[in-house]
Structure 1
Amino acid sequence: MAATQTFTASTATAEISARRRVLRRVLWVFQILIAAFLIVASALPKFVGQVDAVETFELIGWGQWFRYVTGAVELAGGIGLLVPRLAGAAATGLIGLMAGAALTQILVIEPAWALLPAAFALIFALIAWDRREQTRNLVRSLFR
């Protein structure tokens, strides 16, 4: 009877481990796709002064310097998502960026478009949760 319980417990542990590996692979796919979006489709237009990016930041009313700051945060976050040790910290920071983007969409631009940054924030929250141990280790290493 004890052998059966041990076998069942080890089988359950193996099953949980397999599910975690699948989840991690799915999150990596999302990380890579969102990182590519942040770098190519979001940060780059801000840096090169694409007309709609310039107009959007004029509409926001904080000046064009804010366009560059936003682009830099998006670029850094996108790169951070691709570096395993930084992925959790990058995702955590990007949650804040997406919260600001969603609020800006709701209050200034077009409320319906707030769903996109909200969806990204949800994915970033999943990534941050999954990488929380790596983020803790990163923070600990900074204070040594």
Structure 2
Amino acid sequence: MHIVSIVVQSILALGFLLFGLMKFGSRQMVEEFKRHRFPAAFRLFTGFVEVAAAVLLVIGIWNDRIAAIGGAVLVVTMIGAVLTHVRSKDPASKLSMPFILLVLALVVLLINWGALAG
């Protein structure tokens, strides 16, 4: 089952590295955070968290505990994203990607959960 985690971690790491970096200045992200009435500092914080989580997932390929922590960070982040889209009454099309990413982050967290206890 470890191979599943590595594959999902790699996909999430690449995605969140890109998503996180976009939050540092992409016009689309600037407008999206304004639309949700979040300050620029929160957009930058979110970008930092996403990039950090991506790094944790890459390190987690060799360390299950770090993989679980990276997965947990993304689970919390994606719960926030899902709730933001629900609060804004966005269509399902805007909600689907954060939800899929939430599920994938949960997969990484649950596969590596045992490493947190030991």
Question: Are positions 1:95 and 2:75 aligned together?
Answer: yes
Task: Report the Cα offset of residue 57 of structure 1.
Answer: 1.0
Structure 1 match to 2:47: 71
In structure 1, the residue matched to 2:100 is 119
Structure 2, unaligned runs of 5 or more: none
Q: Which has the higher helix share?
A: 1
**Residue-pair matches, total:** 113
Contact 2:12 2:105 in 1 (8 A): no
Write the letter of the residue equivalent to 1:45. Answer: M
* Larger RCO (CA within 8 A; separation ≥ 6): 2
When normalised by structure 1's length, the TM-score is 0.73
Q: Which amino acid aligns with 2:26?
A: Q
Tell me, in whole angstroms, the C-alpha distance in 2 between the residues paired with 1:45 and 1:67: 10
User: Which structure has the greater CA radius of gyration?
Assistant: 1
Q: CA deviation at 1:133?
A: 2.2
Residue 8 of structure 2: aligned partner: 30
- Give the drift of 1:25: 0.9
Equivalent position of 1:3 in the other structure = none
Coordinate RMSD, CA, aligned: 1.4
Query: Matches of 2:90 and 2:56 in 1, distance apart?
Result: 29
Runs of 4+ aligned residues of structure 1 deviating over 2 Å after TM superposition are none
**Percent identity, aligned pairs only?**
26
Change (3 A) 1:99 1:59: same
Unmatched 5+ stretches in structure 1: 1-22, 138-144
Cα distance in 1 for partners of 2:114, 2:14 equals: 25
Tell me which moved more, 51-60 or 104-113: 104-113
Change (3 A) 1:109 1:73: farther
